[in-house]
Structure 1
Amino acid sequence: MSSRPRALGPLVALFTAGYLAPYLLPTVVGRLSAGLGLTPAQAGLVGSVLLLASASAGFTLAARVERLGPRRAARIGLGAMCLGYGSAALTASVPLVVGGAVMGGFGSGTALAVAAAGIAAQRDPHRASTLGLLTVSATAGALYLTLPHLGGGHELPFASIALAAALVWPLTGGLAGGAGHRTAERQPTRPEKSERPETVLSSLPHRRSGLVLAVAILCWSMAQNALWGVSGRIGLTQAGLSEVTVGAVFAVALGAGLAGVTAAGALGSRLGRAAPIGAGTAIIAVCVLVTSGAESLPAFATGEILWNVFYPVVLSYLLGLAASLDPRGRWAVLVGSASSLGVACGPVTGSVLSEQAGYPGMGLILCALLLLAAAPMTAVALHTSGRPLVPGSIRRRGGAPTAAVTEIPIPVPAERSGLDLSTTA
């Protein structure tokens, strides 16, 4: 018990390092387009490939973190981030940049998988997940404000992520070095069984709820990141705003997102999970409509800012819900990886829908998709409401859930990978 609070600091730091690449992906994509001569679609594709690599790491390591040992797995992930993102920052060759982004993305996903599995031992996973989101949001916000003053090009964002991974490396000494530590502590009479990849899903508890949540959160992430991928163009072309004004709106939205993360931590379990997930997603759907149809600064700013207030609130409860389905954190990793897949598909979806239906038509479609996704997510939350976030109740039911995983998000989300900020950076 005493070792768990001490381990929270390294886990939050690892969570921050792993989430930083998705959080900075909008400016990475914009700078790839401006600095390497890539088209917006090609730069967005590089971002999608990075996210797919991160998601693949989550799927691969969902049931293997304990076997590898948290410390070893974390150092593998951080090392891949340093090498991948560092090499991408040091070259102007497009193939080498793409290769570095893929390696770094896999490292980010590995770091997040270790953080998700490690936070499973915490007494209050919702509080731990909001702390992680708050830390990564603040870090990304500081970089968003700093990087534009240090010059252009893709080098600085990639170098910043690699540096963050290097700074977190010494903290991994606070993680467990051996495999199966948590499982042995909780279930001394049931030794760990070796799990083959094809049997991981069949061995998971609450398979139906977990699968429903994974599919729903994939659609949830894809819908929001579809709009995020074209938000810059909506502000510039449809709302008629200047580049400076659009950048200022995004900066304010980032600050609003920090407020949302703080509010989620303050609320905790007072409202349960179903109400924040269902009502919050409905509010987000309305914000999507407002943003997609914005033709002036007030409408555009209102939609973006309110959207980023509620996004992290809902995300934190979704992470806690996924965590509650398996005390070993496997559903947390798998659901987060499904979210990353939705994030990666978002920019392509937004581009296609905006070209075919226009921005307002795209907003209607995405609003409907969000409302459809809210129904099964709320149903899963109601179904699992017998396992509340209260620490004592979690302990009585045999273990604490995991807190958080890959993608997501962000006061100015992370995962919203396709935004071209080359005009605002």
Structure 2
Amino acid sequence: MDLLQGYESATSDYAPSPPRLKRKAASSLAHAIKLPTPNAAAYQPKRRAIARAPSSAPKDPEPLPTLLDAGTVPPAAAVSDATVPSRELQRWRASYRINCVRWNPRFPSLLATAGMSSTMHIFDAFRAVCKRQLDGLHTDAIKDVQWVLDGQSLVSASYDRTLVHVDVETMQARATYTGTHRFTALAMHPSDMHLVLAGDDAGHVVCWDLRDRQPARALQQTCGEVHALAFLPDMASPRSRTQFLSTSTVTKTSAADKAVAVWDFDSGALVKQCIYSQGYTCSSISVHPTAPYLALQSHGNYIATVSTRTLKLSKRRYEGHTSQGYGVHCSFNATGSLLASGDVHGHVYVYEAQRPRLLFSARPHTNVCMTVQCHPRYPHVLATGGWDNIVTVWT
């Protein structure tokens, strides 16, 4: 009994200390990082969540900016007092070689461009801002474009054998005509805004009524590819009959007298040929706005003139530029005092119309200056386009 009591007293004197594991747990809890309480959203039924979710429907496209504003005044053209365009006002680069540039007859700041692409562009030319890009209308290069007289739409002629009448405000095609050959030239009727002449590379000339989707009326066949078409002023037509002039490729020497011909618009009959029998192809026509004559851009490196009264070739010609077989354009200005022309070396030439004297020349392009278009309202403004993809505006 005494031994047991001694054992109990001995074991009580040497009681074991608390286990270290508990002290480590206590110390680790003391230094633990407190995480923020998760901010979990309250549960919502699936139907209620779908009903409250924002709509994923596509938004309506923003309306296009206003394009046709007759009150817009070109600032540079309005204040300029120059008599000969000699200063480059704007320059921009397109994505294709330029075949033609056309000023809008009603809205003075708009310029249409087309070329070796299926896309056309409408620019604010005095600010070098693209207003419209017309895609999906053609599948091949565009040779010519012409504004309709009201200035709200234009007609394009393409190598894909189609003519397209497109509304430039909405960028939608109003009508399309498909031919059998590639279209190469256009001319709008001077008084009826719904009629347009079109020539193709097979020598055919057709008249298309923009209101009619039926095949166009065929007028006549020239000797080769049609390069240019132009309506003659009423003073040239006896009994005020509407006549037009066509230029086509000289296919052989014996057919040189048929390269430039005058046709009656109503009947389609040939009025006169043997007008220009020099043996060269004429690529462009520009009718003088007031005087009774017109200009023919010849591949003989000069511009010939023809009287619209007698329909005979005159001795006046404008020389100094080079065409070398390219379809270079020429253009009279609004008053008829100047005649501008392009050049295969990239130059633009401005001649005095009354006397064939060179007034100004410059080289805005590094490749062929294919098209030159004088402004229909401002006599000292012109636009150029070249095969270096450059468009320039001069004042």
- TM class, shorter-chain normalised? under 0.3
State which structure, 1 or 2, has the greater radius of gyration over its C-alpha atoms.
2
Q: Which has the higher contact order (CA 8 A, sep 6+)?
A: 1
Under a length normalisation based on structure 2, what TM-score does the superposition of the two structures give? 0.27
Q: Which structure has the highest helix share of the two?
A: 1
Name the one with the larger strand percent: 2
Superposition TM-score, scaled by structure 1 size: 0.25
